[in-house]
Structure 1
Amino acid sequence: MEDRQGSDTAERSQLERMIAGEVYDPSDPEVAGMLAKAHQLSRDYNACAESEGERRNEILSRLLPHRGKGVWLTGPIFFDYGAFTTLGDNVYANFNITVLDVCPVTVGDNVMFGPNVSLLTPLHPLRWQERNLRPHRDGSMFDFEYGAPITIGSNCWLAGNVTVTGGVTIGEGSVIGAGAVVTHDIPANVLAAGVPCRVIRDITEADRLELPAVS
């Protein structure tokens, strides 16, 4: 039994290892092929005018198969894989959203992203001895990488130029201030900002706005 389990682990594909957050070889043909496809679909989407709604939706259906209703991505956009990103209903992203989803990225409903937001799951070894390029047996070069997932709860707002790093969870209803770099988990229903991002205060009834009547 132990030998069989060891064999199963050794036979796991590089794509399976990548999604699981294990060290993997990004030059693997299956991984590299999916990457190239998503990069091309991102370019195709960016080449469309906002008036080309049918064409944009067709591209998003191929790039982001796990998305809810009412998703609007202003563009330009950039996704590493797309297939490993899940977007809930009514997700809005201003221009230049970047999602490097080597590990799963999960976004809840009614989430807003300001311009230039980056969700970055990839990680690299800290020691150069493990980080630097190395040769395959055929002489081609590659490096070892790994990643950690990102989860953003429903009803969050990430303002402009926010960066979220791998392994972070942002709780439901929280607001992340412009320019923040989120390296640790953020609880629900708070205002957080800074580099590194930290909780400033809770969001309370005192923050309520009087909204005009809807005609």
Structure 2
Amino acid sequence: MTNKTEKEKMLSGELYIAADPELVQDRLRARRLTRLYNQTFETEDAKRKELLQELLGSTGKHYYIEPDFRCDYGYNIHVGENFYANFDCVMLDVCEIRIGDNCLLGPGVHIYTADLIKSKLQKNHLNQYFHFEYMYLK
């Protein structure tokens, strides 16, 4: 029997309940920050950087993400120095996503770390649960 929170389970790669109130609030936070980010004007570089600093887990000194950008939580995303993501990037970060230095993502790149459980038993009894893997791009 485990006493871990659903968030702790998610972060350690265990089955977790995505509808957990803490995780719902974390996703709402990410939605709010990405909405604000995506509504900024091209001339608002400082505001964009501030929003991404609040949203993402860590960044290099020089990085840029073109709007529209979407993610689940944000805090599981870590980008290196000279990272660039073109328009319409989606990162479903139920687990850690690490992108190294000097990486460029083209338009419409989607990175998914969530994987719905596929076994029949889990589908029948745990349909709110997810399984995830660690991801690193270099």
Give the TM bin, normalised by the shorter chain.
over 0.9
Equivalent position of 1:122 in the other structure = 114
Correspondence for 1:84 among 59, 66, 76: 76
Amino acid at match of 1:46: N
- 1:17 aligned to 2:9? yes
Correspondence for 1:66 among 43, 58, 80: 58
Higher helix share: 2
- Aligned equivalents of 2:60, 2:70: Cα separation in 1: 19
- Aligned equivalents of 1:145, 1:121: Cα separation in 2: 10
Equivalent position of 1:189 in the other structure = none
Shift of 1:131: 2.7
CA-atom RMSD, angstroms?
1.6
Shift of 1:129: 4.2
- Aligned equivalents of 1:38, 1:128: Cα separation in 2: 32
- Aligned equivalents of 1:87, 1:79: Cα separation in 2: 14
Shift of 1:133: 7.7
Amino acid at match of 2:134: P
Equivalent position of 1:144 in the other structure = 129
Shift of 1:56: 0.7
Task: Output one character per residue of 1:113-161: Cα deviation in whole Å (capped at 9) or x when no partner.
Answer: 0001011000111135423686xxxxxxx711121111001xxxxxxxx
Amino acid at match of 2:55: L
- 1:131 aligned to 2:123? yes
Shift of 1:65: 3.9
Q: Which has the higher contact order (CA 8 A, sep 6+)?
A: 2
Which secondary structure does the structure 2 equivalent of 1:145 belong to? strand
Alignment of structure 1 residues 204-215 onto 2, 5 Å? none
CA spacing shift, 1:133–1:71, aligned 2, 3 Å: farther
Shift of 1:76: 0.5
* Residues paired across the two proteins, number: 138
The answer for unaligned runs of 5 or more in structure 1 is 1-5, 135-141, 154-215
Amino acid at match of 1:87: V
TM-score, normalization: structure 1?
0.61
TM-score, normalization: structure 2?
0.93
Determine what percentage of the aligned residue pairs are the same residue.
31
- Aligned equivalents of 2:120, 2:31: Cα separation in 1: 28
Report if the CA contact (8 A) 1:87-1:108 is conserved: yes
Report if the CA contact (8 A) 2:85-2:104 is conserved: yes
Which secondary structure does the structure 1 equivalent of 2:101 belong to? coil
The answer for unaligned runs of 5 or more in structure 2 is none
CA spacing shift, 1:65–1:127, aligned 2, 3 Å: closer
Correspondence for 2:22 among 20, 23, 30: 30
